[in-house]
Amino acid sequence: MERTKVQEVILGASLMEPSAYNVIRNVLKPNDFEGWHRYVFEAMLAIDKRGESADLLTVNAELTKLDKLKLCGNAYAIASLTTKVASGGNIETHAKLLRQYSTVSKAQRLASYIVSQTENQNTDTYKLIEGIKDRLVDMEGNVLSREPRLLVDVMEAELEERKTRTGNISGTPTGLNDWDKIIGGLYNGVHIVAARPAMGKTAFLVTCAINASNNNVPVCIWSGEMTADKVYLRVESNISGVPTERLRLNRVQSYEQEEVNFAQEWTRSAQIEVDDTPNLNLADLRIKALNWKHKYGKFILMLDYLGLMEDNGDEYKGVTYNSKRLHQLSNELEIPILLLHQLSRNVETRPDKVPQLSDLRASGQIEQDANTVTFLYRPEYYKLDTDPIDGNIVEEGKSWAIIKKNREGMTGAVSLRFEGIRSRFVNFM
């Protein structure tokens, strides 16, 4: 059966039988269809998203609203689809056949792309590889697309969302109250948390992950610096209060066992996933994130850390590219991304060691892409007598979250307490 005929059969069956549509919506993507048949399928998806039933009347109305009915021919052309099939009994078989046609077509386009790009000896290898990866993602059908939205519809959705918000928090609370008040919690966008080594970046991520999970928001972590078992060890220590070293060596005291049991039970019910694939590239991360989006809907992506992602041998170019693509990924999936990043050694050249935006690697691009940029700073670590932030005597455990960029609000510095042996930050009292 030729591709056009398969498309007609699938759409005709779906317009006749809702059960048929329920099968294909989980199998096919708009880019699996060619020509005007794609517009019909996109209209059906839009109708379904509103919780309505897709039939001849609603599809024609949707195509008219989108000014695409003429591109499909007319209402008669849409109605004629239902004459192409007797029933939707073989809809799954037809859907798989269309996916096969679609994949072959995309593979042919990929081959043509590779040939055209390699004919030029001056082709940028980095861009070529990323272009191939993007097209491989497209072949999997994992491309999310959004139709233009009327501003009034955006307004109504925003007003409904506001009803769920309290105080200054528009996103998911991290439990670090003063930081949440300034940045507004983890809302959709890229949130950079950067620091020099030993400032507690991973402990900060673990703290945010635990509190997000406590607010019933799934968390998906890519850990390029430590394996999943080490991440768990820090979660267990954070919740139980037992130092990681004693947990690792199984030297838990009897009076601590109840707290350890609680941490383990908490983990069993927590929606936290850890991926410890080394040197992850953006194309692979995007596929993982798309799968998480399908699985959870709303979730927070946490990455530890930017400098450990694949850069194809050019750190500056790699960090710049990855930062830009993560910004795009956040917008595409409508998710918050908490991104850890290591600051340059320039920090160590200053007497007070206080980070500045210029200390970010590839600072221009990162600063531009991020919704918020926060630096972690521990004057205690540098054995300073006077705290450069507030001018007071340096206190044991006192650290700072210095918000240097906040696209949605003010900047400033908030004090936190760092408990390194327990892999956690807590509110400073």
Domain check: are 88 and 223 in the same one?
Answer: no
DSSP code per residue over 87-132: -STTHHHHHHHHHHHHHHHHHHHHHHHHHHHHTSTT--HHHHHHHH
Is 332's pLDDT higher than 90?
no
Domain check: are 81 and 200 in the same one?
Answer: no
Res 321: pLDDT: 81
Number of Cβ within a 10 Å radius of residue 258:
10
Residue 278 maps to which CATH number? 3.40.50.300
Domain check: are 78 and 190 in the same one?
Answer: no
Whether residue 11 lies inside any domain: the answer is yes
Whether residue 140 lies inside any domain: the answer is no
Q: How many CA atoms lie within 13 A of 312 on its CB side?
A: 16
Give the model's confidence band at 143: pLDDT under 50 very low, under 70 low, under 90 confident, else very high: very low
Crossing angle of helices 282-296/315-333, nearest 10°? 20
> Looking at 65, 92, 107, which one is the last position of a domain?
107
Mean pLDDT throughout 191-205?
95
Give the model's confidence band at 168: pLDDT under 50 very low, under 70 low, under 90 confident, else very high: low
**Nearest in space to 371 (alpha carbons), one of 414, 340, 327:** 327
Residue 37 maps to which CATH number? 1.10.860.10
- Cα-Cα-Cα-Cα torsion 65, 67, 69, 72, nearest 10 degrees, comes to -140
Mean pLDDT throughout 111-140?
73
Domain check: are 90 and 175 in the same one?
Answer: no
Domain check: are 243 and 347 in the same one?
Answer: yes
Domain check: are 215 and 322 in the same one?
Answer: yes
Is 146's pLDDT higher than 60?
no
Classify each residue of 387-400 as buried b or exposed e, where b means 16 or more C-beta atoms within 10 Å of its C-beta.
bbbeeeebeeebbb
**Alpha carbon distance, N-terminus to C-terminus of the chain:** 71
Name the more confident of 29 and 426: 426
Report how many domains make up the chain.
2
Domain that holds residue 273: 164-427
Is 272's pLDDT higher than 90?
yes
Domain check: are 44 and 190 in the same one?
Answer: no
Whether residue 421 lies inside any domain: the answer is yes
Rounded to an integer, what distance in angstroms lies between the CA atom of residue 306 and that of residue 323?
8
Q: Of 105-109, 128-132, 148-152, 423-427, where does mean pLDDT reach its minimum?
A: 128-132
Domain check: are 197 and 269 in the same one?
Answer: yes
Q: What residues contact residue 126 under an 8 Å CB cut-off, 6+ apart?
A: 312, 314, 317, 321
